[in-house]
Amino acid sequence: MDASTQNVAEAFSRKAFVYDTFGENHPNLTRMRETVYRHVLDFLNPGAHILELNAGTGTDAAFFARQGFVVHATDIAPGMIGRIEEKITQSDLSDRLTVQQVSFTQLDQIDAEPFDCIFSNFGGLNCIDDLRIVTHQITRLLQLNGIVTWVVMPPICPWDFAAILKGDWRTAMRRLRRGGVRANVEGVPVMTYYFTPRQVIAAFDDSFKVMRLQGLSIFAPPADRKNLAVRFPRLYRLLVSVDNKLARIAPFNGWGDFFIITLRRHD
């Protein structure tokens, strides 16, 4: 494991101790998750087998398992793996949810029948500078007509640009910097890279076709804004309404705190 990968594992192991607590009483993050879930569920058949990359504390994996899907959750951070194992025990999900500590750059270590869906939520894949390292491993793990749904951080986020109003050019321009940005995750430096939808699509071969692309938190607040929905409910509802109308319309479908993209594998 190289130094960069070690940093990611350490940073997100530390994050595991606070991540679920941060999500409590967080209506905006709940809205964002529910938007992702609705998107994915539109493409899944009952009982589908899902491979989740960078599964974090297992919130999404547990959700899909409770919906009757069979989920294999993976993450590189031992702290995150521990949280997933706790959820499996607490919710009695051992028959539908399994877990493996493995990086998305080493998917050859996954010994399983091909999956119906390969899922990754909330920017875990933004920790790598070349998505082809991941996509070149996917064909072996995905059924024909299977889908890939990834939630990725793009360069264009209007909420970041709003920081200009406070004179904070560093925040406003961070996603546009070439070569990525060094983020501080629980005191550990982690490189973060931002991708346009076109860059994500280009990482796949011609056997993949885009099925849906939508922006997430374009004008509605990003995931780290926990209190705006409570303090300014009318403004929040207005911004969410604008998002809902624009989310699938270009160019807004590639903007936001994240975008959600689903591709289907064909012959």
Q: What is the pLDDT along the chain (267 residues), one digit of tens a residue?
A: 677 788 888 989 999 889 888 898 999 999 999 999 999 999 999 999 999 999 999 999 999 999 999 999 999 999 999 999 999 999 999 999 999 999 999 999 999 999 999 999 999 999 999 999 999 999 999 999 999 999 999 999 999 999 999 999 999 999 999 899 999 999 999 999 999 999 999 999 999 999 999 999 999 999 999 999 999 999 999 999 999 999 999 999 999 999 999 999 998
Determine the pLDDT at residue 1.
Answer: 67
Determine the pLDDT at residue 4.
Answer: 79
Q: Which CATH superfamily is domain 3-155+194-265 in?
A: Vaccinia Virus protein VP39 (3.40.50.150)
Determine the pLDDT at residue 78.
Answer: 95
> Rounded distance, CA 72 to CA 254, Å?
28
Determine the pLDDT at residue 228.
Answer: 94
Q: Is the pTM of this model over 0.85?
A: yes
